[in-house]
Chains A and B, each alone.
Chain A
Amino acid sequence: SQTIHQWPATLVQPVGSPLSLECTVEGTSNPNLYWYRQAAGRGLQLLFYSVGIGQISSEVPQNLSASRPQDRQFILSSKKLLLSDSGFYLCAWTSGRNEQFFGPGTRLTVL
């Protein structure tokens, strides 16, 4: 069966520090991968999606970037975090079926 992992589960970082969040999917190949952000009390905002290795589409301009170095690995990064980057980051995947499967999320607090 397919599973999706995210780490770390929680992260507290100072403003201006770098960021790297990782998402990996098991049990499937060639998935589409997504990064969402959920700010406190708000819905999901799609940040990036990827249909294959090295293929990244950005939905909103921001302080973040994404990379897909391997088929089942999706990384969210920042060179310098802002206070506004705080939130709950969710990775999701789909593989031709009409639903998205979500990871457990990473809670990021920028101080």
Chain B
Amino acid sequence: AQSVTQLGSHVSVSEGALVLLRCNYSSSVPPYLFWYVQYPNQGLQLLLKYTSAATLVKGINDFEAEFKKSETSFHLTKPSAHMSDAAEYFCAVSEDNYGQNFVFGPGTRLSVLP
């Protein structure tokens, strides 16, 4: 069965600094990987997804993530944090191509300091 770990339940960065949110996964088959963002009291919005094409995936709002099979990682980065990036971020893994059987990580809360 697949699983996801996210190192750091809370990450703080200064505005303009690099954002790095870590995600490691476990999967018995080539995985599909996702990053979602959740703003307070809202649903989850897809940032980007990896579906076995390019290992470097670009998403919305200048976020990107790199799939590294050897490290079983899919870390999320953004070169320059904005105040509006403050939110909860969830990494998820799926072992099928139909959107079923998602397993979500526990989430990382990102704070952006002025």
Interface residues in chain A, defined as those with a beta carbon under 8 Å from any beta carbon in chain B: 6, 32, 41-44, 46, 49, 88, 90, 92, 94-105, 107
State how many residues of chain B have any CB contact under 8 Å with chain A. Answer: 24
How long is the Cα–Cα vector from A101 to B43 in the complex, in angstroms? Answer: 9
- B21 CB to closest chain A CB (Å) equals 14
Number of A-B contacts (CB under 8 A): 55
B interface, by DSSP: helix, strand, loop or mixed? loop
Minimum CB–CB distance for B96 against chain A, Å = 8
Closest to B91 in A: A43
User: Which listed residue (A42, A98, A102) contacts B97, Cβ 8 A?
Assistant: A98
Interface membership of chain B positions 84-107, coded 1 if the CB is closer than 8 angstroms to chain A and 0 otherwise: 000000100010111110101111
CB of B63 within 8 A of chain A? no
Minimal beta-carbon separation of B39 from chain A (angstroms): 11
B41 within 8 A of A: yes
The A-contacting residues of B in range 66-114, CB under 8 angstroms, are 90, 94, 96-100, 102, 104-107
**Are B94 and A90 within 8 A (Cβ)?**
no
The chain B residue with its CB closest to the CB of A107 is B41
A90-B44, A99-B49 known, 4 other contacts, Cβ within 8 Å: A43-B107, A49-B100, A97-B99, A98-B49
A9 to B18, CA, bound (A): 35
Taking a contact as CB atoms under 8 Å apart, the answer to whether B34 and A99 are in contact is yes
For the complex, what is the distance from the CA of A41 to the CA of B106, rounded to whole Å?
9
Which A residues lie within 8 Å of B32 (CB)?
A: 98
